[in-house]
Amino acid sequence: MEYINNELHFGPEKKNLSSLVANYVRPIYVYDLSFIKSRFKQMAEALAGVRLYFAVKANPNPQVLQCLKSLGAGADVVSLGEIKRALESGFAPEDIVYSGVGKTKHEITEALKLGVLQINVESLQELQRIGEIAEKMGKKAHVALRLNPDVSIQTHPYIATGLRDNKFGMELSMIPDLSACLKKYAQSLELVGVSLHLGSQMMEFSGYQEALVKLKESYQSLKKDFPTLRRFDFGGGLGVVYEKQDLALESRLLAEYAGITKGILSDLNCELQSEPGRWLVAHAGVLLTQVQYVKKTSAKTFVIVDSGMNHLIRPSLYEAEHQILPLVKSGKMTTCDVVGPICESSDFFVKDYSLDQVQEGDFLAVTDSGAYGYSMASTYNLQELPLEICI
Protein backbone atom coordinates (compact mmCIF):
# COMPACT_ATOMS: atom_id res chain seq x y z
CA MET A 1 0.00 0.00 0.00
CA GLU A 2 1.45 3.27 -1.04
CA TYR A 3 0.17 6.77 -1.78
CA ILE A 4 1.29 8.25 -5.07
CA ASN A 5 0.01 11.82 -5.58
CA ASN A 6 -2.36 11.23 -2.65
CA GLU A 7 -3.98 8.24 -4.37
CA LEU A 8 -3.74 4.79 -2.84
CA HIS A 9 -1.85 2.20 -4.89
CA PHE A 10 -1.87 -1.52 -4.11
CA GLY A 11 0.47 -4.45 -4.49
CA PRO A 12 3.80 -5.01 -6.21
CA GLU A 13 2.30 -3.75 -9.50
CA LYS A 14 1.20 -0.52 -7.78
CA LYS A 15 -2.39 -0.57 -9.00
CA ASN A 16 -4.26 2.71 -8.48
CA LEU A 17 -7.30 1.53 -6.50
CA SER A 18 -9.37 4.54 -7.59
CA SER A 19 -9.37 3.08 -11.10
CA LEU A 20 -11.33 0.08 -9.79
CA VAL A 21 -14.25 2.05 -8.38
CA ALA A 22 -15.16 3.97 -11.55
CA ASN A 23 -18.29 1.84 -12.06
CA TYR A 24 -18.81 0.99 -8.40
CA VAL A 25 -21.99 -0.86 -7.47
CA ARG A 26 -21.15 -2.55 -4.20
CA PRO A 27 -18.14 -3.46 -2.03
CA ILE A 28 -15.32 -5.24 -3.83
CA TYR A 29 -12.58 -7.56 -2.65
CA VAL A 30 -9.52 -6.97 -4.81
CA TYR A 31 -6.82 -9.66 -4.89
CA ASP A 32 -3.38 -9.09 -6.34
CA LEU A 33 -2.22 -12.39 -7.83
CA SER A 34 1.38 -11.24 -8.27
CA PHE A 35 1.51 -10.67 -4.52
CA ILE A 36 0.25 -14.20 -3.89
CA LYS A 37 2.89 -15.55 -6.26
CA SER A 38 5.70 -13.77 -4.47
CA ARG A 39 4.46 -14.94 -1.07
CA PHE A 40 4.17 -18.54 -2.27
CA LYS A 41 7.66 -18.47 -3.74
CA GLN A 42 9.08 -17.01 -0.55
CA MET A 43 7.46 -19.66 1.62
CA ALA A 44 8.33 -22.49 -0.77
CA GLU A 45 11.98 -21.42 -0.68
CA ALA A 46 12.09 -21.14 3.11
CA LEU A 47 10.40 -24.54 3.43
CA ALA A 48 12.23 -26.20 0.55
CA GLY A 49 11.35 -29.89 0.36
CA VAL A 50 7.95 -29.39 2.01
CA ARG A 51 4.78 -29.72 -0.08
CA LEU A 52 2.50 -26.75 0.62
CA TYR A 53 -1.24 -27.43 0.66
CA PHE A 54 -3.07 -24.11 0.57
CA ALA A 55 -5.84 -23.92 3.21
CA VAL A 56 -8.75 -23.25 0.87
CA LYS A 57 -10.88 -21.85 3.70
CA ALA A 58 -8.66 -18.77 3.78
CA ASN A 59 -9.60 -17.77 0.23
CA PRO A 60 -11.54 -20.09 -2.09
CA ASN A 61 -11.67 -17.62 -5.00
CA PRO A 62 -11.23 -19.77 -8.15
CA GLN A 63 -8.59 -17.49 -9.69
CA VAL A 64 -6.63 -17.44 -6.45
CA LEU A 65 -6.78 -21.23 -6.35
CA GLN A 66 -5.77 -21.56 -10.00
CA CYS A 67 -2.85 -19.25 -9.34
CA LEU A 68 -1.66 -21.31 -6.36
CA LYS A 69 -2.15 -24.57 -8.24
CA SER A 70 -0.03 -23.24 -11.12
CA LEU A 71 2.77 -22.56 -8.63
CA GLY A 72 2.74 -26.15 -7.41
CA ALA A 73 0.53 -25.92 -4.33
CA GLY A 74 -1.82 -28.66 -3.20
CA ALA A 75 -5.12 -27.93 -1.45
CA ASP A 76 -6.06 -28.42 2.20
CA VAL A 77 -9.84 -28.67 2.37
CA VAL A 78 -12.43 -29.14 5.11
CA SER A 79 -15.69 -29.93 3.32
CA LEU A 80 -17.08 -31.50 0.17
CA GLY A 81 -17.77 -27.95 -1.00
CA GLU A 82 -14.08 -27.12 -0.76
CA ILE A 83 -13.15 -30.40 -2.48
CA LYS A 84 -15.43 -29.48 -5.39
CA ARG A 85 -14.05 -25.94 -5.57
CA ALA A 86 -10.48 -27.26 -5.56
CA LEU A 87 -11.26 -29.73 -8.37
CA GLU A 88 -13.06 -27.06 -10.42
CA SER A 89 -10.01 -24.84 -10.00
CA GLY A 90 -7.68 -27.42 -11.49
CA PHE A 91 -6.41 -29.40 -8.52
CA ALA A 92 -6.27 -33.18 -8.98
CA PRO A 93 -7.65 -35.49 -6.27
CA GLU A 94 -4.03 -36.43 -5.46
CA ASP A 95 -3.35 -32.76 -4.63
CA ILE A 96 -5.97 -32.74 -1.89
CA VAL A 97 -5.60 -33.25 1.85
CA TYR A 98 -8.99 -33.49 3.53
CA SER A 99 -9.19 -32.26 7.15
CA GLY A 100 -12.09 -31.25 9.41
CA VAL A 101 -13.79 -32.52 12.57
CA GLY A 102 -17.26 -33.20 11.21
CA LYS A 103 -16.95 -35.17 7.99
CA THR A 104 -20.29 -36.77 7.16
CA LYS A 105 -20.74 -40.27 5.69
CA HIS A 106 -21.68 -38.68 2.38
CA GLU A 107 -18.57 -36.49 2.38
CA ILE A 108 -16.29 -39.42 3.22
CA THR A 109 -17.88 -41.58 0.52
CA GLU A 110 -17.41 -38.87 -2.10
CA ALA A 111 -13.82 -38.21 -1.02
CA LEU A 112 -13.03 -41.92 -1.33
CA LYS A 113 -14.73 -42.17 -4.71
CA LEU A 114 -12.63 -39.27 -5.95
CA GLY A 115 -9.47 -40.69 -4.44
CA VAL A 116 -8.15 -37.71 -2.47
CA LEU A 117 -4.53 -38.02 -1.42
CA GLN A 118 -5.09 -38.17 2.32
CA ILE A 119 -7.82 -37.84 4.92
CA ASN A 120 -6.72 -36.21 8.17
CA VAL A 121 -8.73 -37.98 10.84
CA GLU A 122 -9.94 -36.09 13.90
CA SER A 123 -11.50 -38.77 16.13
CA LEU A 124 -11.53 -42.50 16.79
CA GLN A 125 -15.17 -42.55 15.70
CA GLU A 126 -14.24 -40.94 12.40
CA LEU A 127 -11.44 -43.45 11.84
CA GLN A 128 -13.90 -46.26 12.42
CA ARG A 129 -16.43 -44.61 10.08
CA ILE A 130 -13.85 -44.26 7.32
CA GLY A 131 -12.74 -47.87 7.84
CA GLU A 132 -16.32 -49.14 7.49
CA ILE A 133 -17.18 -47.02 4.46
CA ALA A 134 -13.94 -47.88 2.64
CA GLU A 135 -14.46 -51.57 3.41
CA LYS A 136 -17.96 -51.49 1.87
CA MET A 137 -16.61 -49.68 -1.18
CA GLY A 138 -13.69 -52.09 -1.55
CA LYS A 139 -11.26 -49.18 -1.26
CA LYS A 140 -8.23 -48.44 0.81
CA ALA A 141 -8.39 -45.05 2.52
CA HIS A 142 -5.12 -43.23 3.06
CA VAL A 143 -5.39 -41.64 6.48
CA ALA A 144 -3.30 -39.36 8.66
CA LEU A 145 -3.97 -39.04 12.38
CA ARG A 146 -4.44 -35.45 13.50
CA LEU A 147 -2.94 -35.51 16.96
CA ASN A 148 -3.66 -32.89 19.59
CA PRO A 149 -0.50 -32.33 21.64
CA ASP A 150 -2.21 -30.16 24.31
CA VAL A 151 0.07 -27.23 23.72
CA SER A 152 -0.84 -23.57 23.90
CA ILE A 153 0.14 -20.87 21.42
CA GLN A 154 -0.31 -17.12 21.83
CA THR A 155 -3.30 -16.29 19.71
CA HIS A 156 -6.96 -15.36 20.02
CA PRO A 157 -8.74 -18.18 21.90
CA TYR A 158 -11.21 -18.61 19.02
CA ILE A 159 -8.43 -19.66 16.66
CA ALA A 160 -6.33 -21.86 18.98
CA THR A 161 -6.82 -25.55 18.20
CA GLY A 162 -4.05 -27.54 19.88
CA LEU A 163 -5.28 -27.68 23.47
CA ARG A 164 -7.07 -30.63 24.98
CA ASP A 165 -10.18 -28.53 25.57
CA ASN A 166 -10.36 -27.80 21.82
CA LYS A 167 -12.50 -30.05 19.65
CA PHE A 168 -9.65 -30.70 17.22
CA GLY A 169 -7.39 -33.71 16.83
CA MET A 170 -6.88 -36.67 19.14
CA GLU A 171 -5.04 -36.83 22.43
CA LEU A 172 -1.79 -38.73 22.38
CA SER A 173 -3.21 -41.15 24.98
CA MET A 174 -5.62 -42.32 22.24
CA ILE A 175 -2.82 -43.81 20.14
CA PRO A 176 -3.27 -47.42 21.41
CA ASP A 177 -7.01 -47.32 20.54
CA LEU A 178 -6.27 -45.74 17.18
CA SER A 179 -3.68 -48.40 16.44
CA ALA A 180 -6.16 -51.13 17.32
CA CYS A 181 -8.75 -49.61 14.97
CA LEU A 182 -6.17 -49.31 12.16
CA LYS A 183 -5.32 -52.98 12.61
CA LYS A 184 -8.98 -54.02 12.70
CA TYR A 185 -9.52 -52.26 9.36
CA ALA A 186 -6.15 -53.21 7.88
CA GLN A 187 -7.87 -54.07 4.58
CA SER A 188 -9.49 -50.67 4.19
CA LEU A 189 -7.25 -48.23 6.07
CA GLU A 190 -3.64 -47.37 5.36
CA LEU A 191 -1.89 -45.13 7.86
CA VAL A 192 0.15 -42.69 5.80
CA GLY A 193 0.65 -39.72 8.07
CA VAL A 194 0.59 -37.86 11.33
CA SER A 195 -0.83 -34.35 11.32
CA LEU A 196 -0.87 -31.31 13.54
CA HIS A 197 -2.42 -27.86 13.53
CA LEU A 198 -2.10 -25.74 16.64
CA GLY A 199 -4.06 -22.72 15.56
CA SER A 200 -3.87 -19.64 13.45
CA GLN A 201 -2.06 -16.28 13.57
CA MET A 202 0.99 -17.77 15.32
CA MET A 203 3.75 -15.18 15.80
CA GLU A 204 5.83 -16.97 18.42
CA PHE A 205 6.95 -20.57 18.21
CA SER A 206 7.77 -22.02 21.63
CA GLY A 207 4.46 -23.97 21.76
CA TYR A 208 4.91 -25.07 18.16
CA GLN A 209 8.40 -26.35 18.90
CA GLU A 210 7.15 -28.29 21.91
CA ALA A 211 4.35 -29.81 19.82
CA LEU A 212 6.71 -30.91 17.04
CA VAL A 213 8.96 -32.67 19.53
CA LYS A 214 5.97 -34.50 21.05
CA LEU A 215 4.57 -35.53 17.68
CA LYS A 216 7.93 -36.61 16.36
CA GLU A 217 8.05 -39.19 19.16
CA SER A 218 4.53 -40.33 18.30
CA TYR A 219 5.53 -40.63 14.64
CA GLN A 220 8.57 -42.74 15.52
CA SER A 221 6.64 -45.11 17.75
CA LEU A 222 3.75 -45.48 15.26
CA LYS A 223 6.22 -46.13 12.45
CA LYS A 224 7.34 -49.33 14.22
CA ASP A 225 3.81 -50.77 14.00
CA PHE A 226 2.83 -49.16 10.71
CA PRO A 227 5.67 -49.16 8.17
CA THR A 228 3.36 -47.44 5.65
CA LEU A 229 3.62 -44.25 7.71
CA ARG A 230 5.52 -41.79 5.54
CA ARG A 231 4.18 -38.23 5.92
CA PHE A 232 4.31 -35.57 8.61
CA ASP A 233 1.82 -32.73 8.13
CA PHE A 234 2.79 -29.86 10.44
CA GLY A 235 -0.29 -27.76 9.68
CA GLY A 236 -0.61 -24.07 8.97
CA GLY A 237 -0.93 -21.11 11.26
CA LEU A 238 2.00 -18.81 10.54
CA GLY A 239 0.80 -15.30 11.39
CA VAL A 240 1.02 -11.95 9.66
CA VAL A 241 1.29 -8.40 11.01
CA TYR A 242 -2.02 -6.57 10.63
CA GLU A 243 -1.45 -3.36 12.55
CA LYS A 244 1.09 -1.92 10.13
CA GLN A 245 2.61 -3.78 7.21
CA ASP A 246 6.02 -5.17 8.22
CA LEU A 247 7.16 -7.65 5.59
CA ALA A 248 10.72 -7.69 6.97
CA LEU A 249 9.48 -8.92 10.36
CA GLU A 250 7.33 -11.54 8.62
CA SER A 251 10.36 -12.77 6.67
CA ARG A 252 12.30 -13.17 9.90
CA LEU A 253 9.42 -15.07 11.49
CA LEU A 254 9.15 -17.30 8.43
CA ALA A 255 12.87 -18.10 8.63
CA GLU A 256 12.57 -18.91 12.33
CA TYR A 257 9.50 -21.11 11.76
CA ALA A 258 11.18 -22.95 8.89
CA GLY A 259 14.37 -23.43 10.92
CA ILE A 260 12.49 -24.94 13.86
CA THR A 261 10.44 -27.19 11.60
CA LYS A 262 13.34 -28.55 9.60
CA GLY A 263 15.60 -28.76 12.65
CA ILE A 264 13.16 -31.07 14.40
CA LEU A 265 11.66 -33.03 11.52
CA SER A 266 14.32 -33.48 8.87
CA ASP A 267 15.89 -36.60 10.39
CA LEU A 268 12.54 -38.39 10.15
CA ASN A 269 13.34 -38.68 6.44
CA CYS A 270 9.69 -38.56 5.56
CA GLU A 271 7.50 -36.45 3.26
CA LEU A 272 6.76 -33.12 4.94
CA GLN A 273 3.47 -31.34 4.35
CA SER A 274 2.20 -27.94 5.45
CA GLU A 275 -1.21 -26.23 5.23
CA PRO A 276 -0.63 -22.47 5.12
CA GLY A 277 -3.58 -20.16 4.49
CA ARG A 278 -3.35 -16.66 5.88
CA TRP A 279 0.35 -16.11 5.27
CA LEU A 280 -0.04 -16.62 1.53
CA VAL A 281 -3.06 -14.43 0.88
CA ALA A 282 -3.86 -11.98 3.72
CA HIS A 283 -1.82 -9.06 2.39
CA ALA A 284 -2.84 -9.75 -1.19
CA GLY A 285 -6.44 -8.69 -0.62
CA VAL A 286 -8.15 -5.39 0.08
CA LEU A 287 -11.84 -4.62 0.59
CA LEU A 288 -13.11 -1.45 -1.06
CA THR A 289 -16.16 0.20 0.45
CA GLN A 290 -17.99 3.50 -0.04
CA VAL A 291 -18.84 6.07 2.61
CA GLN A 292 -22.59 6.54 2.88
CA TYR A 293 -22.88 8.95 5.79
CA VAL A 294 -20.71 10.82 8.24
CA LYS A 295 -22.82 10.92 11.39
CA LYS A 296 -21.81 13.02 14.38
CA THR A 297 -23.24 12.39 17.83
CA SER A 298 -22.33 14.07 21.11
CA ALA A 299 -20.00 11.12 21.77
CA LYS A 300 -18.49 10.17 18.42
CA THR A 301 -18.13 10.61 14.70
CA PHE A 302 -19.35 7.55 12.82
CA VAL A 303 -18.24 6.96 9.27
CA ILE A 304 -20.97 4.65 7.99
CA VAL A 305 -19.91 2.59 4.98
CA ASP A 306 -21.71 0.04 2.77
CA SER A 307 -19.71 -2.95 4.01
CA GLY A 308 -19.41 -4.37 7.48
CA MET A 309 -19.29 -7.53 9.56
CA ASN A 310 -21.32 -9.22 6.83
CA HIS A 311 -18.32 -8.92 4.48
CA LEU A 312 -15.38 -8.96 6.89
CA ILE A 313 -16.25 -10.38 10.27
CA ARG A 314 -12.70 -10.48 11.69
CA PRO A 315 -12.87 -7.20 13.69
CA SER A 316 -16.20 -8.19 15.28
CA LEU A 317 -15.28 -11.80 15.93
CA TYR A 318 -11.62 -11.65 16.94
CA GLU A 319 -11.10 -7.93 17.64
CA ALA A 320 -8.79 -8.04 14.65
CA GLU A 321 -7.24 -4.76 13.57
CA HIS A 322 -7.30 -3.99 9.87
CA GLN A 323 -5.92 -0.64 8.79
CA ILE A 324 -8.45 1.55 6.98
CA LEU A 325 -7.11 3.92 4.34
CA PRO A 326 -8.93 6.41 2.10
CA LEU A 327 -8.43 5.87 -1.62
CA VAL A 328 -7.75 9.59 -1.89
CA LYS A 329 -6.06 11.44 0.94
CA SER A 330 -7.65 14.67 2.09
CA GLY A 331 -4.76 15.55 4.36
CA LYS A 332 -6.99 16.58 7.30
CA MET A 333 -7.34 14.00 10.05
CA THR A 334 -10.28 13.16 12.28
CA THR A 335 -11.04 10.55 14.95
CA CYS A 336 -13.97 8.28 14.16
CA ASP A 337 -15.50 4.83 14.25
CA VAL A 338 -15.82 3.20 10.83
CA VAL A 339 -18.98 1.13 10.96
CA GLY A 340 -21.18 -0.89 8.60
CA PRO A 341 -24.89 -0.99 7.78
CA ILE A 342 -25.70 -4.10 9.83
CA CYS A 343 -28.11 -3.90 12.76
CA GLU A 344 -25.63 -4.92 15.44
CA SER A 345 -23.39 -2.75 17.60
CA SER A 346 -20.61 -5.25 16.92
CA ASP A 347 -20.69 -4.16 13.27
CA PHE A 348 -17.55 -2.04 13.13
CA PHE A 349 -14.21 -2.10 11.34
CA VAL A 350 -12.32 0.22 13.71
CA LYS A 351 -13.12 2.38 16.72
CA ASP A 352 -11.64 5.73 17.81
CA TYR A 353 -9.50 5.60 14.73
CA SER A 354 -7.44 8.36 13.21
CA LEU A 355 -8.64 8.68 9.60
CA ASP A 356 -8.44 11.32 6.91
CA GLN A 357 -11.62 13.37 6.86
CA VAL A 358 -14.01 11.76 4.40
CA GLN A 359 -17.45 12.56 3.05
CA GLU A 360 -20.38 10.79 1.45
CA GLY A 361 -19.31 9.05 -1.76
CA ASP A 362 -15.63 8.71 -0.83
CA PHE A 363 -14.02 5.27 -0.84
CA LEU A 364 -12.08 3.43 1.85
CA ALA A 365 -9.80 0.40 1.65
CA VAL A 366 -9.88 -2.19 4.42
CA THR A 367 -6.38 -3.60 4.15
CA ASP A 368 -4.95 -7.10 4.55
CA SER A 369 -8.31 -8.76 3.99
CA GLY A 370 -7.27 -11.44 1.49
CA ALA A 371 -7.58 -14.20 4.11
CA TYR A 372 -10.81 -15.11 5.90
CA GLY A 373 -12.59 -12.16 4.32
CA TYR A 374 -14.92 -13.21 1.51
CA SER A 375 -14.77 -16.82 2.71
CA MET A 376 -16.48 -15.82 5.98
CA ALA A 377 -18.88 -13.31 4.41
CA SER A 378 -22.62 -13.77 4.84
CA THR A 379 -25.85 -12.29 3.55
CA TYR A 380 -26.96 -11.26 7.05
CA ASN A 381 -29.65 -8.60 6.91
CA LEU A 382 -30.06 -9.85 3.32
CA GLN A 383 -27.25 -7.59 2.22
CA GLU A 384 -25.62 -8.77 -0.99
CA LEU A 385 -22.24 -10.48 -0.93
CA PRO A 386 -19.35 -8.30 -2.08
CA LEU A 387 -17.83 -8.60 -5.55
CA GLU A 388 -14.37 -10.06 -6.09
CA ILE A 389 -11.82 -9.10 -8.70
CA CYS A 390 -8.29 -10.27 -9.32
CA ILE A 391 -5.57 -8.06 -10.68
Q: Which is nearer to ligand LLP, 162 or 326 (CB)?
A: 162
> Minimal distance in Å, beta carbon 359 to ligand LLP?
31
Of 11, 60, 207, 277, the one binding ligand LLP by CB under 6 A:
277
Q: Which is nearer to ligand LLP, 326 or 373 (CB)?
A: 373
Q: Which is nearer to ligand LLP, 89 or 155 (CB)?
A: 155
Q: Which segment (12-20, 174-182, 254-262, 270-278) binds ligand LLP by CB under 6 A?
A: 270-278
Of 27, 236, 308, 326, the one binding ligand LLP by CB under 6 A:
236
The whole-angstrom separation of Cα 188 and Cα 211 is: 30
Is residue 197 a contact point for ligand LLP (CB under 6 A)? yes
Which of 181, 270, 336, 343 is catalytic? The answer is 343
Q: Which is nearer to ligand LLP, 236 or 340 (CB)?
A: 236
CA atoms within 13 A on the CB side of 4: 10
Contacts 24+ apart (CB under 8 A), 6-12: 6/328, 6/329, 6/331, 7/327, 7/328, 7/329, 8/325, 8/326, 8/327, 8/328, 8/329, 8/365, 10/286, 10/365, 10/391, 11/35, 11/284, 11/391, 12/38
> Minimal distance in Å, beta carbon 120 to ligand LLP?
7
Is residue 237 a contact point for ligand LLP (CB under 6 A)? yes
Binding residues among 354-383 for ligand LLP as defined by CB under 6 A:
372, 376
Is residue 314 a contact point for ligand LLP (CB under 6 A)? yes
The whole-angstrom separation of Cα 138 and Cα 130 is: 12
Of 278, 283, 311, 322, the one binding ligand LLP by CB under 6 A:
278
DSSP string, 297-364: -SS-EEEEES--TTT--HHHHH-----EEESB--S-EEEEEEE-SSSSTT-EEEEEEEEE---TT-EE
Is residue 235 a contact point for ligand LLP (CB under 6 A)? yes
Instruction: Please say whether the beta carbons of 3 and 331 come within 8 A.
Output: no
> Minimal distance in Å, beta carbon 266 to ligand LLP?
21
Beta strands in 149-278 (DSSP E): 170-171, 189-195, 231-233, 271-274
> Minimal distance in Å, beta carbon 318 to ligand LLP?
6
Interface size with ligand LLP, residues (CB under 6 A): 21
> Minimal distance in Å, beta carbon 30 to ligand LLP?
18
Q: Which segment (34-42, 101-109, 273-281, 339-347) binds ligand LLP by CB under 6 A?
A: 273-281
Instruction: Please say whether the beta carbons of 288 and 15 come within 8 A.
Output: no
Give ∠ CA 275-281-283 in degrees, rounded to 5: 140
Binding residues among 154-173 for ligand LLP as defined by CB under 6 A:
159
Distances (CA, A) of 65 to 43, 204, 314, 346, 389: 16, 28, 22, 31, 13
Distances (CA, A) of 180 to 124, 127, 186, 226, 363: 10, 11, 10, 11, 60
Catalytic, 343? Answer yes
Is residue 340 a contact point for ligand LLP (CB under 6 A)? no
Binding residues among 58-97 for ligand LLP as defined by CB under 6 A:
58, 76
> Minimal distance in Å, beta carbon 101 to ligand LLP?
9
- The counts of H helices and E strands in the chain are 10, 20
Of 201, 289, 323, 369, the one binding ligand LLP by CB under 6 A:
201
User: Interface residues with ligand LLP (CB under 6 A)?
Assistant: 55, 58, 76, 99, 159, 197, 200-201, 235-238, 275-279, 314, 318, 372, 376
Which residues are catalytic, by number?
A: 343
